[in-house]
Amino acid sequence: AEMFGQLTSGLESAWNKLKGEETLTKENIVEPMREIRRALLEADVSLPVVRRFVQAVTDQAVGVGLIPGVKPDQQLVKIVHDELVNLMGKEVSELVFAKSGPTIILLAGLQGVGKTTVCAKLAFYLKKLDKSCMLVAGDIYRPAAIDQLSILGEQVGVPVYTAGTDVKPADIAKQGLQEAKRQNVDVVIVDTAGRLQIDKAMMDELKEVKRAINPTEVLLVVDAMTGQEAAALVTTFNLEIGITGAILTKLDGDSRGGAALSVKEVAGKPIKLVGRGERLEDLEPFYPDRMAGRILG
């Protein structure tokens, strides 16, 4: 599925309703707005977000007056573009680096969302920014996860701190951090256990790890294919453990866009990075304006 493809064609039917019109009015905007609403709901954007979005676009469409020389359909595209950018957070939300000592990035997420892959991609990305990295294997419940992280670390060329499966994740994280300080590493990326669903044990463990290492960034990895559910997860994790942002994976397979459009507005936390494929280089900052451009085709 082409990224945002379904959403793009859904929105197209809104502009098409204005073909041949000379101006934007309360009356002729009704049908296009209905199409926009439908496209967003089909994209699995959260309902309150859809409502606010449609209201904001309607207000501007009938309130602002036409820009000379711009056709009504083009003007609506422009208004929707700007509102999409607003919705996704306007500016790029950069990763924060610690002023002194290593930057500590704690990664959380449910199983299968691409968290292990993100560890490696993030290390690869940071290396390109000339930051040295260390990965810390804090998922003690799946020995395979530790092996997978070690292999990925080798591929990227970054050290991986492991302590087997008998040490508590909070202690592993602390030891890993000590080792990173000893080696003068710039960024420590701590992987944690993913579960199939949120449960109390998972949250308690994450809280304990967070307390132990006082991370610079706590990033929740969510799967774009899960739409508004991803936004709900960001909300829950933020309320439970306090996070600084989200990483949205599998955007390459997401034709709908509901997650990308809902996370910031629903959870009040920015998407900082997106995964757009399975290769190491397929991780990049989340650019709201480029995303809006992609959505509008």
Contacts with ligand GDP in 184-223 (CB under 6 A)? Answer: 194
Contacts with ligand GDP in 99-158 (CB under 6 A)? Answer: 109, 111-117
Give the list of residues 6+ apart from residue 257 with CB closer than 8 angstroms, or none. 4, 6, 7, 43, 45, 295
**Binding mask of the shown chain, residues 162 to 191, with x at each position contacting ligand GDP by CB under 6 A:** ------------------------------
Coil, strand, or helix at residue 107?
A: strand
Q: How far apart are CA 55 and CA 29, in angstroms?
A: 12
Which of 8, 58, 226, 249 lies at the binding interface for ligand GDP (CB under 6 A)? Answer: 249
Which of 229, 253, 280, 296 lies at the binding interface for ligand GDP (CB under 6 A)? Answer: 253
Q: What is the closest distance, in whole angstroms, from the C-beta atom of residue 223 to ligand GDP in the complex?
A: 8
Cβ distance to ligand GDP smaller for residue 47 or 144: 144
Q: Which of 193, 169, 214, 185 is nearest to 116 (CA)?
A: 193
Count of residues binding ligand GDP (CB under 6 A)? 18
Which of 252, 280, 287, 289 lies at the binding interface for ligand GDP (CB under 6 A)? Answer: 252
* Tokens encoding 61: 């469409």
Q: What is the closest distance, in whole angstroms, from the C-beta atom of residue 157 to ligand GDP in the complex?
A: 19
Q: How far apart are CA 37 and CA 50, in angstroms?
A: 7
Q: How far apart are CA 278 and CA 261, in angstroms?
A: 22
Q: What is the closest distance, in whole angstroms, from the C-beta atom of residue 145 to ligand GDP in the complex?
A: 7
Cα–chain-centroid distance for residue 19? 35
Q: Within 13 Å, how many C-alpha atoms sit on residue 43's CB side? A: 31
Which of 159, 176, 275, 288 lies at the binding interface for ligand GDP (CB under 6 A)? Answer: 275
Other beta carbons within 10 Å of 19: 9
Q: What is the closest distance, in whole angstroms, from the C-beta atom of residue 117 to ligand GDP in the complex?
A: 3
Cβ distance to ligand GDP smaller for residue 80 or 120: 120
* Tokens encoding 275: 């995964």
The piece of 62-70, 196-204, 207-215, 273-281 that touches ligand GDP (CB under 6 A) is: 273-281
Q: What is the closest distance, in whole angstroms, from the C-beta atom of residue 238 to ligand GDP in the complex?
A: 19
37 in contact with ligand GDP (CB under 6 A): no
CA distances from 196 to 110, 193, 247 (A): 6, 10, 18
* Ranges assigned E (strand) in the chain: 103-109, 133-138, 160-161, 187-192, 217-223, 245-249, 271-275, 283-285
Asked whether the beta carbons of 216 and 141 are under 8 A apart, the reply is: no
Q: What is the closest distance, in whole angstroms, from the C-beta atom of residue 230 to ligand GDP in the complex?
A: 13
Cβ distance to ligand GDP smaller for residue 76 or 136: 136
DSSP letter for 129, please.
T
Q: Which residues bind ligand GDP (CB under 6 A)?
A: 109, 111-117, 194, 249-250, 252-253, 275-278, 282
